[in-house]
A and B are shown apart, each in its own frame.
Chain A
């Protein structure tokens, strides 16, 4: 009911207060730490930072190792030197020119974008239905959706392969096609779940207001609910884009043999052969492949954290 709405702190624009000659209501003067407790606080803060630094180092070292390797030569890469003796971008040039790197890159961008788009649309639409519409079998259906999370990819391999090789009714062969890959990634259960949980946290008043304002179900979803779900949508964007970008398994199954459809992970994999691995090239290509994801994170970080925490905590 109405009282569930979180209280909205009154925010008065500064200019208006200035006009009235009032001082904006802010937190009172910041009191210094409780006497006698500064010492304990300082120790606690130091420990926190040390632990955080250690964990970051743990993640950073392999990453640094990759960068370092990408600047080395192959014989050098076999050694354990942290820094390359004679750093060069040779491996990067090789990585881009040896195989059709540009093509893989475009394939990855295309598939990740399309799959992310479909997930945003379908997960939010489905999440809204599961959160708000009443229809027979809703709970059962929702449990089925969640149930799909428990089936590992490996188990789905054969059925999916068969389904794509001769699609029911139309008998299309979707193996080796972009459509096939997009089809099986149209919407992920995790995303659907995330959206449902997020929509559940949005007070019903907005929808009731929209209803009285003459907005139908779809308009309410599109114009009222979706804009309110920004953080969850940001989380889905980043998770899905990254997931598709990094996906090795399904592109391998579906595009195997058609090198023109390879995505970056498949392309990069070609630097590994049965007898040797071209480490510097592999690392260079990997680092280039990371860049778009890195940019995405920087751009969405704020929303992403908000989305994960709010969907997780309040759900």
Chain B
């Protein structure tokens, strides 16, 4: 267990930057999620920490040791790959033991550690099988097991859940969190799924085009997005982002942002933002309904209680409380006035 620090870290591939000037301080035992759209440099940032990719500029530290020139195996980190990369010709036991054997850990200790990891992950009876005799979920657990037997300073996980079906993913998400809390190991977790990021991270680093957009707790990102990109990326359904004059929110140099779940039908609070829109489609979600609206040409989405009676083609009035309104500079896309 150790803190991890990125100091002005950049990575160029043939002159184009995959990661630019990344500054990130990850506390001891913290669970941090790197999230962003495909190609934003999340994996590259993680792989530089693992030592699978060299940094072009800047320093990476694990604890207080600069690891830029340290070989991967000497960094004392363990990685869970998206593909799991379990050695197909080795049994589960040997998959877990391989790394420890290379570290010349005594035999009894290897055995003890492997059995303990197998017990933690509830895979006692699988230990003699080969990877191809396991289900997707079981393979995922073996991949986690291979990381935890190493008792490393940090876990690095690159989209470890993306090969699981939706239900198993939710379940495994919780299991990884429990495991991390139990072991208290610093964890850097990469995903492109903002729901995964919101539910798992102590803090989340949102990246785009190799640049860190915002770093904060899930709540901070949700309530105080620093720019248009983060505002639109975090939260589901996504925030409505429209020219401010359209909803009487401000001048034409501003973009107004408000979340579908903060919209109410009718006049609502007196100081709220009020506007008319036309209902195009209504999606029934059980407790709620998702109304797709248009105002002029601009599409909007509102998440409303299912009691609100709406039908296609209706014109209706909606209200957004002032304190839930975000305003962004249309030019720089940076926040000017942040919601409550």
Contacts and interface: CB of A to CB of B under 8 A. Distances in A.
Interface stretch (A10-18, A43-51, A134-142, A144-152): A10-18
Given A11-B133, A224-B87, A208 B81 contact: yes
B73 interface: yes
Contacts of B303: none
B178 interface: no
Nearest to A209: B85
Interface in A177-215: 203, 205-206, 208-215
B136 A213 contact: no
A1 interface: yes
Contacts of B131: 8
Interface residues of A, number: 26
Contacts of B81: 2, 205, 208-209
Contacts of B30: none
Contacts of B137: 10
Contacts of B79: 208-209, 212
B167 interface: no
A299 B206 CA distance: 56
B159 to A, nearest CB: 7
A1 B99 contact: no
Contacts of B88: 228
Interface in A1-31: 1-3, 5, 7-8, 10-13
Contacts of B78: 212
Contacts of A212: 50-52, 72-73, 77-79, 99
B135 interface: yes
A12 B135 contact: yes
A33 interface: no
A24 B95 CA distance: 26
A206 B85 contact: yes
B83 interface: yes
A90 interface: no
B135 A11 contact: yes
Given A2-B158, A3-B82, A12-B135, A213 B102 contact: yes
> Size class of B's contact patch?
20 to 34
B135 A214 contact: no
Contacts of A13: 129, 133
A153 interface: no
Contacts of B158: 2
Given A2-B43, A13-B133, A211 B52 contact: yes
B43 A1 contact: yes
Interface string B156-193: 00110001000000000000000000000000000000
A205 B136 contact: no
A227 interface: yes
Nearest to A13: B133
Contacts of A132: none
Nearest to B89: A227
B316 interface: no
A171 B320 CA distance: 94
A272 interface: no
A224 B133 CA distance: 19
Given A7-B163, A215-B98, A209 B136 contact: no
B99 A8 contact: no
Contacts of B135: 10-12
Contacts of B72: 211-212
A213 B95 CA distance: 10
Contacts of B153: none
Nearest to A5: B83
Contacts of A8: 131-132, 136, 139
Most buried by A among B83, B89, B102: B83
A134 to B, nearest CB: 12
10 contacts: A2-B158, A3-B82, A5-B85, A10-B139, A11-B135, A208-B50, A208-B81, A214-B103, A224-B87, A227-B89
Given A10-B137, A203-B85, 11 more contacts: A3-B82, A11-B135, A205-B83, A210-B98, A211-B51, A211-B72, A212-B51, A212-B52, A213-B99, A215-B73, A224-B87
Interface of B: 43, 50-52, 72-73, 77-79, 81-83, 85, 87-89, 98-99, 102-103, 129, 131-137, 139, 146, 158-159, 163
A-B complex: 10 closest residue pairs judged by Cβ atoms: A213-B99, A214-B102, A5-B83, A214-B73, A205-B85, A2-B82, A209-B85, A227-B89, A10-B136, A10-B135
